[in-house]
Amino acid sequence: MKDNIYIFFGGESVEHDISIITAMQVLKVYKDLIPVYIGRNGVMHMAENLNDVKIYSNFQKLAKGVKDVSFVNGKPYLAVKKRGKYSKFLSVSFALLCTHGRFGEDGGLQGILDSCHIPYSSSNSISCAVCMDKIFMKDVLISRKIPTVKSYPLNYKDYLLNKEKVINEIEREIKYPLILKPARLGSSIGIKVCKTASDLDEAVNFCAKFDDRILVEKYLSNIDEYNCACVHMNKDVVISDVQKVGKTSEVYSFEEKYLKTSTKNEEKIDKNLKKQIKNLTSKVYRIFNCFGVVRVDFIYDKDKGKLYVNELNTIPGSLAFYLFKNMKFKDLVTCLIEEGKERRAREQFVTAYDSEALEVFEKLNLDMVKK
């Protein structure tokens, strides 16, 4: 039986465009994949020319032979919609996920795929959900004594109910300047630096446009930022090279991440620091039970000489292939597919248990009714 391997990208996320770019990069080297584009409204589409990046500027007008598709409950199929009805069913052997951000990297899509018994390339729904939420992620890291920047978890509803109390707690626990981040957003979108108390309310309200959970952290100005990735391969975890991020503004912005080539060579990184970064990358990958390729972002405080884990990306932009200097992009994609299939075959857990619970309940229920 032929493998029908689908690549999913797009989605209801502010990282929608980056997801398209990642998919285009994959489709360039892996032409046999079947593309499924998830629109900004969450509707999934198949079309004749989804591998042409130009169509996404005006999808409705430029896409050819568009068909809406949907997952089939409990079965590894996509249903094709025709004249308002789902009629044709397409078998799905594997899902390569290039979906970044909310509704694609937060465990939601992974949960759907699990319920449809479709193997996929990323970490599972629980790992994705925890890693996507910066507040939950920090709680886990702190519990395992992994160094992170001092922070405060802000709930916007609580903030609106008692601003003065929340502000006092923040100022007592963390000193200015601060950096505020939407808890479940990536690509440096929605971030605000707050240097005085007068800026705080504006910063909170700005971040709340993206998420009602906000991570407030101590802002460190004299820092270096580093990226390192790892991937599950041949029953082991392979660690990538370390990349020093070159930023020109006080926050490593969306534009610098994706629209500029501002990175520095691994050779310029201190040997001991590089070793520490790689060790922590491997450690947090295992702590969060990650799978597939994951990029871990670090902050190095040059004033204190301390390294902190900043965040984990369970479906990183470009699948972080640029960090694996000794691995071809196509080989990385092949690894994700093969390892994902093997994981699915391995995780055939017992899901049924014979018991007398229903019979006992029926008897008890009848006795209760009689009384």
Domains assigned to the chain: 5-120 (3.40.50.20), 150-218 (3.30.1490.20), 223-346 (3.30.470.20)
Residues forming a β-bridge with 86: 81
Answer whether residue 148 shows pLDDT above 50.
yes
Average pLDDT of the segment spanning 35-48: 96
Using 50, 70 and 90 to split pLDDT, how confident is the model at 247? low
Q: Which has more confidence, 250 or 276?
A: 276
State if pTM tops 0.85. Answer: yes
Using 50, 70 and 90 to split pLDDT, how confident is the model at 371? low
Using 50, 70 and 90 to split pLDDT, how confident is the model at 369? low
Average pLDDT of the segment spanning 275-297: 97
Name the phi and psi angles at 143, rounded to 5: -65, -25
**Whole-number mean pLDDT of the chain?**
90
Looking at residue 242, what is its pLDDT? 96
Q: Which has more confidence, 241 or 188?
A: 241
Q: Are 105 and 128 contacting, i.e. CB atoms less than 8 angstroms apart?
A: yes
Answer whether residue 370 shows pLDDT above 70.
no
> How are beta strands 5-10 and 94-97 bridged, if at all?
parallel
Looking at residue 258, what is its pLDDT? 44
- Helices 108-115 and 125-132: crossing angle in degrees, nearest 10, is 170
The rounded distance, in Å, linking the Cα atoms of 236 and 240 is 13
Residues forming a β-bridge with 168: none
**pLDDT 10s digits, 124-138:** 999 999 999 999 999
**pLDDT 10s digits, 50-86:** 999 999 999 999 999 999 999 999 999 999 987 778 8
Average pLDDT of the segment spanning 185-207: 88
**pLDDT 10s digits, 350-363:** 777 888 888 888 88
Share of the chain above pLDDT 90, in %: 77
Answer whether residue 349 shows pLDDT above 80.
no
Answer whether residue 260 shows pLDDT above 70.
no
Looking at residue 256, what is its pLDDT? 47
The rounded distance, in Å, linking the Cα atoms of 111 and 97 is 13
Q: Are 333 and 26 contacting, i.e. CB atoms less than 8 angstroms apart?
A: yes
Which two tokens mark 22?
């990642």
